[in-house]
Structure 1
């Protein structure tokens, strides 16, 4: 449903990745299980100490609280949390490198929402697309590189969404001013309000029909990316 969308302003589109193009938590849970299976073979004491695969996520979260400078860099945070877990179990911390690569490969085994690929094809035919994420998914590793002119991540910029700087970096990567960008994402705070504060138009992909809870509204709300493509025509 379009609200205040100005189609004439849109010269480029930035797109969130996790939970916009694919559901993220099923992917993360599978990757954590894959990591645990690898540890069971290569670091059995660590696998035993952290018998529930989600326990390693708790180590990561605790490390993030101890080292807030890593919160924007999920790659380093995950790798270092594995190193902490290995050391706490009395095993070789250097195994963190290959262990993380096992996790990272599985983290990219995403299952796209059915509307994602057709929508990307339609949008990329009309606008330069830039991926914009707080996560560590790489568009080339999920097979989407052909659709995007650039990718921008919090770990590269040094600040996460909703900080205005990361949105402005995305606009620069697209070669346009922030006001010429439509940012598309699922998170009301990080994507919609962050983009609006950065001077962009914002599209909210509301797949579960959640109520909007903020005074400032998205410029357009859509149940999925197919509906968004229709709103842009």
Structure 2
């Protein structure tokens, strides 16, 4: 059983898609990040950086005590190695898969996150920040589009590289970006969207509009000091 610490975020949807694609039994444990669940001691033992997603594998390969993993990239690699699927054992395909996982974690996620913050949530609209992250977000969409111009998936066969990059595009309305401008990316996005396992993973998922925060919620999410 894979326990998924869950909320309606693109990073969490990476994990729910992977778990469904790999055929693991799972349960979802809600973490209310708007009201401080991520700072509870029992959650911090699993996710020291107080972020979702995180998982606990109650039946790890080889037996033994449950295994907890935080950070979505690490989670997907762990699940792929446990299942023996969606991550090549070696060679160019494995290297490319890991490359696009690291790219997502270092470029796509942080850039779109910062763009969404300054565009939708910052109490003061800062044109420089919105323009800077907006241009970079568009560049990253274009880079994915270029990578997909001559291949069906990012690293050869469908892999965890695709699973980790796909969910952030679900939130493209938060960023004012249109898939129609990126035809190869759009084709890839809709091909993954149509997969039965992805549809099952997203059946109860939501793509909420940018929320309005209370002062206390804003402090919890954006003004941490420790």
Question: TM-score band, normalised by the shorter chain?
Answer: 0.3 to 0.5
TM norm structure 1:
0.32
The structure with more radius of gyration: 1
TM-score by length of 2: 0.32
